[in-house]
Structure 1
Amino acid sequence: MRAVEQQIEPRKTPKQGRAMHTVDSIIQATQKILTDEGYERASTNYISDVAGVSIGSLYQYFPSKEAIVASLVEKTVVAAAETIREELLACMGLPLEESTPRLVRVLLETRRENAFVFLRLPREMPGFRSVSRQLTTEKYLHTTIHSYYMQHRDSIRLDDLETAIFVTEHMVIGCIDAYLDNESPKIDEETLVEHLSLAVLSYLSS
């Protein structure tokens, strides 16, 4: 297990502007190659060419392409989590009936915008499923999500709040991912948001 961790851990963290720009260029180039040409084409030499940096500069920060992909996943998840956190905070004082559709909608939007990381990578690169399970928006947002549920405690009839959080998170995200993955022509987004919101509200009030 330690060998796997060493393979995907960055060598060092950039601290200066130029170094951060180099790392961002490497990550962006990797995403472009993965999206357009697939994982097998994403050699470190090819990534450095597309990024416009030397292979030596690449290896200063990343020991392997796996490490670059792991950083890409982390960067995407953190950005998505911040978007969701903002909506959670904005919904703290709203009734559940009003806030639930808003939160379902922002989850749908962030997962659609980042479908490459949330859906394609785990499917096309099985070796990264364990990384994807560790780097999730839910884990980054656990404290904020718990605060949101506590803010609405009077409206939630379930005694076991941790289980309620777990069930609602996976119910919503699972349905959204299935919807995006299947590109279902039978359900429009507003219908999906409406029905998922009803399912969540019914469950929490049961």
Structure 2
Amino acid sequence: MVDVVFAPMPVPDAARLASELGFEHIDVDAGWDGELALPVGDRMAHPSPRPGCSVPAPPAAQGMWDRAVAAYRRTPGMRLEPWPGSIVDSVEKVKAMLEAVPGLRLLVDTGHVANWGEDPVELLPWADHVQLRQARRGVAQALEGDVDFRRVFERLEQVGYRGRLSVEYFDLPDMGWPLDDPPAFAVALFEEVRALL
């Protein structure tokens, strides 16, 4: 199943657009409880983790690692989303966090991992949710990039992944991730990955 994220578009508008474009689910903030044109795929909680939700890792800062480890240990069933500039912005750091927090699972965003210059396939054994986005080292969102989706899907099959797949493109210039037309990028990737599934 493929769902989509259209941040920062208002959720009801994003759900209507996603439905019109052929997506099956939409990812939303954990607090969303209204009626939508599509079922909810994944729920995102931030800044604090919540059981059953994905949470972006906090930005790298003095003492943040220990605070995050403590919070994640108190929140079984949450999923951690690593991203560039966070406390877990390399495969090595992600694996260290997985070791520090027994049972921790991941939301693996292929674009984030490619953006920091590594292969997202390395993190898929710990994935409970996967966001698909094309990217390359230093470029968070691209139509053409370094993510080999055929390898991603092969690895997901090998590890027995049964979760959803999200397509995520966003226009977040304040975070350094501007994009003129996220829906067009999402549809292009949706068509590419649908042919591989």
Classify the TM-score, shorter chain.
0.3 to 0.5
Say which structure is richer in strand.
2
Q: Which has the higher contact order (CA 8 A, sep 6+)?
A: 1
> What TM-score does the superposition give when structure 1 sets the normalisation length?
0.31
The higher radius of gyration belongs to: 1
